[in-house]
Amino acid sequence: MNNDKRNVHRSGALGMLLQSGQIKNIDEEELKETNITAKKEKISSEKFVTDTGLVFTEDELFYIDPEHCESWKYANRLPTELGDIDELIKSIKEQGQLQPALVRSHPNSHGNVKFEIIFGRRRHIACMHLNRPLLVIKKDFDDLKEAVAYQDAENKQRKNISNYSNSSLYKRLLEDKVFLSEKELAEKLGFSPSTFSNLMSFSKIPVPIISVIPDIHNLPISMAAKILSLLNASKSNYQRLVSIAPQIGNSITTPAKLEKMMEPEVLLNERINDKAKVIKSKNGKKLFTFKTDYKGTPCVLIDREIANSLSMDNLCEHLKVYLEQEIQSLEKV
């Protein structure tokens, strides 16, 4: 199959996209604030704009063989975040591809691979499965920052990408010097400084903590920011956070609960409870547990099944007799 640069006319895919409302003639958007690259001044009627602000000409929209594409190095959609591919395959099979992918010429083409996918990885996979051409907008960028901005705007529109994945991507962009500072990257992507700083907390949490949090991809930004804040507050908090990380997002669901788990009395309570003594019968049946609470007060916890079958009055009377005998013995010493 070789459909690279197959012409697309208004009667074909371009007309379909216009009719479905996925794109608009740029004249309809003149003098309107749009994101990324759409201009405020009047633009030629031969240009079009997507719902995420990507401006393109008719010549930049065409079909290519999906086997001639691969994802670019800054793709941030993990395999677990691809969503329901089967549903997308069904949709494209029945209705056609209603949203074009964005590609650029591959900087290091190899074999049959000629293009890099900036966004539209799910569409690419679906078209590969259906063995049908992939509808794309092709842009060759002088500045990778523009490509990153297009991808980010598209992902925000389509969703399903976690804050952790985005933070990991932004970290790579900073490490590779695509952007020279968090401030520059935040401004390019339209984040406020505080929101972006909190989002980047994910990328600054040590791996030993990240790796044992049950579902890092669903963890709220506020929780990541609180973890980083606790780490920065004291070096002694590191081991404590490692130990409770498996509970973060499960029983520890809010920043307030997380902070509570770091308080001295909670730590004392857990240390004391580690010394709890379980008493069993001769045949191994659990009878009761003896422990002390965080204030040091002794507690006896009777097994629920046993407690339900006992007379509390009789139990209290036996305990009273035993304690009185022990007190008398101590007084004689």
* Residue finishing a domain among 120, 149, 178: 149
Q: Is residue 205 part of a domain?
A: yes
Could you tell me if 139 and 24 lie in one domain?
A: yes
Report which of 99, 15, 102 is spatially closest to residue 56, judged by C-alpha positions: 102
Question: Would you call 114 helix, strand, or coil by DSSP?
Answer: strand
Res 80: pLDDT: 73
Tell me the β-bridge partners of 105: 115
pLDDT of residue 160: 73
Do 223 and 323 belong to one domain?
Answer: no
Predicted local confidence at residue 171, as pLDDT: 95
What domain range includes position 216? 162-262
Same domain, 182 and 307: no
End position of a domain, from candidates 238, 262, 286: 262
Provide the whole-model pTM: 0.69
Phi, psi torsion values for 13, nearest 5 degrees: -60, -40
Residues 202 and 256 in one domain: yes
* Residues whose CB is less than 8 angstroms from the CB of residue 21 and which lie 6 or more positions away in sequence, other chains included: 51
Does 187 lie in the same domain as 88?
A: no
Per-residue burial over 40-67, b if 16 or more Cβ lie within 10 Å, else e, is eeebeeebbbbebbbbbeeebbbbbbbb
75 and 103 inside one domain:
yes
Pair 286, 313 in one domain: yes
pLDDT tens for each residue of the chain, 333 residues long: 455 555 455 557 888 888 888 888 876 545 354 544 444 334 444 788 888 888 898 889 999 999 999 999 998 877 777 778 899 999 999 988 989 999 999 999 999 999 999 999 999 999 999 999 999 999 988 789 999 999 998 888 766 789 999 999 999 999 999 999 999 999 999 999 999 999 999 999 999 999 999 999 999 999 999 999 999 998 889 999 999 999 999 999 999 999 888 876 555 455 545 556 788 887 878 888 877 665 567 788 887 778 788 888 888 888 888 888 878 777 664
Residue 155 counted as domain residue? no
Q: Does 23 share its domain with 110? A: yes
Residues 24 and 142 in one domain: yes
92-130 burial string, b = 16+ CB within 10 Å, else e? Answer: beeeebebbbbbbebeeeeeeebbbbbbbbbbbbbbeee
Q: Say how many domains are in the chain.
A: 3
pLDDT of residue 2: 53
178 and 144 belong to one structural domain: no
Q: How many Cα neighbours within 13 Å face the side chain of 73?
A: 8
Can you name the residues that pair with 69 across neighbouring β-strands?
115
**Residue 112 and residue 176 in one domain:** no
Tell which of 93, 124, 149 closes a domain: 149
